[in-house]
Structure 1
Amino acid sequence: MTDNRMHSHAEHGNERENDMEKIIISPTGKCMRSDAAGAGFYGASRGGRIHEGMDFLCEPGQDVVSPITGRVIRLARPYAQGPYSGVLIQGDKVAVKMFYVDVTERPGDRVEQGEVIGTAQDITQRYNHPDMQPHVHLQIEHADPALFMGE
């Protein structure tokens, strides 16, 4: 007799990978940047430190969407001075922080994944590097460890 509830580890792995793909989406609908000013992937060199997030290409002024479903915890500022801003969003399984976004939502607001939450700012104006591409920075602040478990 066959038990239809039994799945191989490979099948479970694919299910988990598919679930993981849905937890976070690109806030700009575009890929990560890689230009002469630096690579936008997690762990990329930033001089004496590593990049702690991902930089997604954007057009300044374009809509930026929430990469997760959750609640706006607080607005964030990547630098002590200047016009750049961002947001911290807490979901059920992960919390994310984004920078270089003019956020329209306020702390306490619930946001859905894919919902417009602001517009992209032009970070290239802060740095004196002509080859830097405009981007929105996204980093994971907290994550449910169960997301990374093999079983």
Structure 2
Amino acid sequence: MEHIRNFLRGKGFVLALLACVAAAAAVGVWAVRTVRDQMAEDLGKNPSQSITGEETFPGIDPEIQQDTEEQLWEQESTSAAQSVADVPESSSSGASSGASSGSGSVSEPSELQTESPIASASAGSGYTRPVSGQVLAVWSGDELVYNETLGDWRTHNGTDYACKAGEDVLAPVAGTVESLTAEGNWGVVASIRDAEGRLWRISALEDAAVQQGDAVTSGQKLGQAGTITGESALESHIHLEVLDGDKYLDPVKLIGS
């Protein structure tokens, strides 16, 4: 018996501590169960969330709430469809309707150009390309350009159109032949005065088919393409100028490229 008393006396503290831990655990379990039961009771009386995780609102019939949400979705979809319908449809013609031939821009001459439209009256313009070839050199305005034939810098007062030697040259505009005059390096120059008082000068013309004082129509044959010795470094071409008083105009802006 004395041996048992000595054992209990030595282990008494440890046993007391274990008893306290067991009691604390029991109290904790009881508290957790009490809180869980109370929450379950509260959720049964006034649920705030369904078992599916979808949000509900106290005092509102779930069916009414669902109908309201569906109406809201339908309204948003209708609004989006309306905004799309108001966007203008793209047109394939828009890309090709950029700058027209009368916009003031001029196509730069290029050796890559190989084909040009046949000389014909521009639609609704009353003007005609004098020959069918490509543009070799453009009107330069006040800018000086280098003349390879003469080896100097000067303004280029007209537009050069490529053509075959001896090709028919057509009147670029209706009017009256004011003169047929040989002008040195430019050959025979045919000058036509149009109804607006502008003077159209075509160099160089050979075997003229018209005479001074003749009334000509746009596209009428004036003669055949000759040689312009002042621009012989270029391939065979005719040189066209347009004068409004003493001011040179860009022929391409009037006739089109």
Instruction: Tell me if structure 1 keeps the 8 A contact 2:177–2:191.
Output: yes
C-alpha distance in 1 between matches for 2:123 and 2:189: 24
C-alpha distance in 2 between matches for 1:141 and 1:67: 13
After TM superposition, give the deviation of residue 48 of structure 1 in Å.
Answer: 2.6
Instruction: Tell me if structure 1 keeps the 8 A contact 2:203–2:228.
Output: no
Code of the residue aligned with 1:110 in structure 2: it is A
Alignment equivalent of 1:63, drawn from 161, 168, 186? 168
C-alpha distance in 1 between matches for 2:241 and 2:230: 21
TM-score by length of 2: 0.41
Cα distance change on mapping 1:78 and 1:120 into 2, 3 Å: same
Answer yes or no: is 1:112 the counterpart of 2:217.
yes
Pairing 1:1-150 to 2, within 5 Å after superposition = 22-33=125-136, 40-43=137-140, 45=145, 46=147, 47-79=152-184, 84-93=187-196, 94-102=198-206, 103-123=208-228, 127=232, 129=233, 132-142=234-244
Structure 1: unaligned runs, 5 residues or longer: 1-13, 34-39
Aligned alpha-carbon RMSD (Å): 3.2
Structure 2: unaligned runs, 5 residues or longer: 1-99, 104-121, 246-252
TM-score by length of 1: 0.66
Cα distance change on mapping 1:92 and 1:20 into 2, 3 Å: farther
C-alpha distance in 2 between matches for 1:51 and 1:125: 12
Cα distance change on mapping 1:125 and 1:66 into 2, 3 Å: same
Give the percent of matched residue pairs that are identical in Structure 1 and Structure 2.
21
After TM superposition, give the deviation of residue 95 of structure 1 in Å.
Answer: 1.8
Cα distance change on mapping 1:50 and 1:92 into 2, 3 Å: same
Cα distance change on mapping 1:48 and 1:56 into 2, 3 Å: same
Comparing both chains, which one has the higher relative contact order based on Cα–Cα distances under 8 Å and sequence gaps of 6 or more? 1
C-alpha distance in 2 between matches for 1:48 and 1:124: 17
CA deviation map 1:13-65 (0-9, x unaligned) = x8x87x997243221022211xxxxxx10016133311000011110111100
Q: Which has the higher helix share?
A: 2
Q: Which has the higher strand share?
A: 1
Instruction: Tell me if structure 2 keeps the 8 A contact 1:24–1:67.
Output: yes
